[in-house]
Amino acid sequence: MKKLSKKALNSSFWRWFYGNLTCFSHEHMQTFAYMWSMLPLIQELYETKDEQAEKLQTYYPFFNTEPQIGSIVVGITAGLEEARANGAEEIDDEMINGIRAGLMGPLAGIGDSLIVGTYIPVLLGVALGLSEGGSIIGPMFYIVVWNVTSIWFQKFIYNKGYELGGSAVEVIVGEQATALRESVIVMGQVIVGAMAASWVNITTSVVLTTAADRVLDEATGEYIVQEKDVLLQASLDGAFPKMLTMLFVLLCWWLMAKKNISPIKVMLLMVVLAFVGVFIGFFDPGLSY
């Protein structure tokens, strides 16, 4: 009975980890990286070059998913390829590619929402807090924590995919997994929303009116009249603190989520709005010239 060695599995994993976007193109995306990660497994399972070339052709069809969570697909096909090399007749090219094609879409959604949309922003938020005052602790925190957790997570799901083989499909896209994923997404949205309230601060310097107050002059014992500006920001804070910040965040979300405007264009728009706001007096950056 043929059994993949730890050396071959580790080689496959590290090839995917370092090269999941190797030779990336619009036509093939992650196809060549996938083939490269499967090569040491196929070389160990099949003796002749002809057999190796034939089996490697299985992984030539288009493949693309979120790179980190996509390592589980490589692990699953490693287990399937081992079973096929041991004579499992039900496992053929069509079955392997059916699993690959069926998983890459759902996994892309899971990875983009949990890793790119939730985990990375949370790590960056913590790193920004630690970077206050120019401290190097912030970037070091992000570099170390991201790499350690990313490697551990990818290696873990790669091995689990290899152990489960084809049965991993239900574990990944089944009802329980879907419910857990949605719960984590909601939690991530709450965290990102709290980070937005902490790190984004939009205020206005607009003066609504000027009020006159009678103030007692302690030196003379007489009342004097002092003029005091009534600011729009103070009125907004009294009714709804951080209202402008909330509107700003919702505007950015609406532009990107509903109007499909890229983040780069949204940032450029915010720069333009900032310049215009300062020019007309809506914003006051507190600079002197």
Helix (H), strand (E), coil (C) string for 195-221: HHHHHCCCCCCCEEEEEEEEEEECCCC
Q: Is the distance from CB of 231 to CB of 208 less than 8 angstroms?
A: yes
Tens-place pLDDT, residues 69-119: 889 889 988 888 888 888 777 777 787 888 787 778 778 877 877 888 788
Q: d(Cα 215, Cα 225) in Å, to the nearest integer?
A: 6
Helix axes 31-45, 71-85, angle to 10 degrees: 30
Q: d(Cα 160, Cα 78) in Å, to the nearest integer?
A: 11
Tens-place pLDDT, residues 210-250: 655 666 666 666 666 566 666 777 777 778 888 888 888 88
Tens-place pLDDT, residues 239-263: 888 888 888 888 888 998 888 888 8
Helix axes 71-85, 93-111, angle to 10 degrees: 160
pLDDT for position 154: 92
Q: Taking the model in full, what pTM does it have?
A: 0.61
pLDDT for position 173: 46
